[in-house]
C-alpha cells in the first residue's frame, strides 16, 4: 500500500475537497485521526473556507460523534468505562446515515449531534439540506477495517488522516477531560487507559487514507 501524500496547506486542502465535486451526485469526504489530533478543528476550518467559496448551503457536516451510544446504553452493556471505543458507537446508524446521503439527495437528512457539556448525543441536532453536494464527516473510526466500520470507506469519495505530535495530542486530551469535570489524576488515567488504546487502533489505519494532514496547518 503506497504511503499517502502529506498536505498541510488549508488552501490546497480546500481545493482538493472542491475538486471532488467533479464526481457525479453527492460526495462525502471523511476526516479521521486519533483522539485529540484536531479532526474537529480541521473540519471547522474547512467548512468555513468551503462555505465561503461555494456558498453557505453547499457544504454539509455529518459528525460521527453524534452516534455515540448514550450513557444509559453503555451502562446496560457494561461499556461505560470504555466510552469512545469502536463498540460504544451506533455504527449501523452511522452507516445508514451515510447511505441516505447518497440514496436520498433530495431530502433533508437529520442526524444526531453530540453535546460536549452533557457528553451525550442529541437526536436530530444536525440537518444536511439537499443543497449540500459536498458533505464532511469526521470521526476516529472512518477507516477501521472491522467491527462494521469497514462499510464506511466505500461511501466516501476520499478519506484524510489528521496527524499531530503525540505529546501535544495527549496534553490536549487531558485538558479536555479536565474541562468537562474530571480531576487531573482521573483525566490522565482516562487518557492512558482508554484514549490511548483507541489511538493505537486509529494510528494503524493511517496508510489507508488518501491524504495525511499534519497539523498545525501552514496557511
Identify the pLDDT of residue 176.
86
Give 160-193 pLDDT, tens digit per residue: 999 999 899 899 988 988 988 889 998 898 888 8
**Domain assignments of the chain as residue spans, ordered by start:** 10-214
The number of angstroms, rounded, from the C-alpha of 133 to the middle of its chain's C-alpha atoms is 18
Spatial separation of the C-alpha atoms in residues 209 and 143, rounded to whole Å: 7
Which helix (H) or strand (E) segment holds residue 187: the answer is: helix 184-190
Residue 212 near residue 6 (C-beta atoms within 8 A) = yes
Q: DSSP secondary-structure letter at 38?
A: S
Identify the pLDDT of residue 44.
96
Find residue 214's DSSP bridge partners: 163
Q: Read off the pTM.
A: 0.94
Find residue 162's DSSP bridge partners: 213
Residues in the chain: 219
Find residue 27's DSSP bridge partners: 134
Spatial separation of the C-alpha atoms in residues 195 and 200, rounded to whole Å: 9
SS3 30: strand
Query: Among residues 133, 154, 128, 6, which one has the least CA distance to residue 58?
Result: 133
Per-residue pLDDT of the chain (219 residues; tens, 9 = 90+): 689 999 999 999 999 999 999 988 999 999 999 999 999 999 999 999 999 999 999 999 999 999 999 999 999 999 998 999 999 999 999 999 999 999 999 999 999 999 877 778 999 999 999 999 999 999 999 999 999 999 999 999 999 999 999 899 899 988 988 988 889 998 898 888 888 999 999 999 999 999 999 999 886
Spatial separation of the C-alpha atoms in residues 184 and 187, rounded to whole Å: 5
Tell me the fold of 10-214.
Rossmann fold (3.40.50)
Amino acid at each position: 500500500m503506497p504511503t499517502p501524500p502529506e498536505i498541510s496547506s488549508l488552501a490546497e486542502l480546500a481545493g482538493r475537497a472542491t475538486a471532488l465535486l467533479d464526481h457525479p451526485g453527492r460526495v462525502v469526504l471523511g476526516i479521521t485521526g486519533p483522539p485529540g489530533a484536531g479532526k474537529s478543528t480541521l473540519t471547522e476550518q474547512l467548512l468555513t473556507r468551503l462555505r465561503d467559496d461555494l456558498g453557505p448551503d453547499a457544504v454539509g457536516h455529518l459528525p460521527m460523534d453524534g452516534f455515540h451510544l448514550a450513557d444509559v446504553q453503555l451502562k446496560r452493556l457494561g461499556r461505560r468505562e470504555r466510552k469512545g471505543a469502536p463498540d460504544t458507537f451506533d455504527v449501523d446508524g452511522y452507516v445508514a446515515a451515510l447511505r441516505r446521503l447518497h440514496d436520498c439527495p433530495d431530502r433533508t437528512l437529520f442526524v444526531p449531534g453530540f453535546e460536549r457539556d452533557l457528553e451525550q448525543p442529541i437526536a436530530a441536532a444536525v440537518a444536511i439540506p439537499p443543497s449540500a453536494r459536498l458533505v464532511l464527516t469526521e470521526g476516529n473510526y472512518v477507516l477501521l477495517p472491522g467491527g462494521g466500520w469497514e462499510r464506511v470507506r466505500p461511501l466516501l469519495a476520499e478519506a484524510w488522516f489528521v496527524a499531530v505530535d503525540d505529546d501535544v495530542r495527549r496534553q490536549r486530551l487531558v485538558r479536555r477531560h479536565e474541562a468537562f469535570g474530571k480531576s487531573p489524576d482521573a483525566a490522565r488515567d482516562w487518557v492512558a487507559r482508554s484514549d490511548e488504546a483507541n489511538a493505537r487502533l486509529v494510528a494503524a489505519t493511517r496508510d489507508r487514507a488518501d491524504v495525511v494532514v499534519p497539523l498545525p496547518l501552514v496557511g
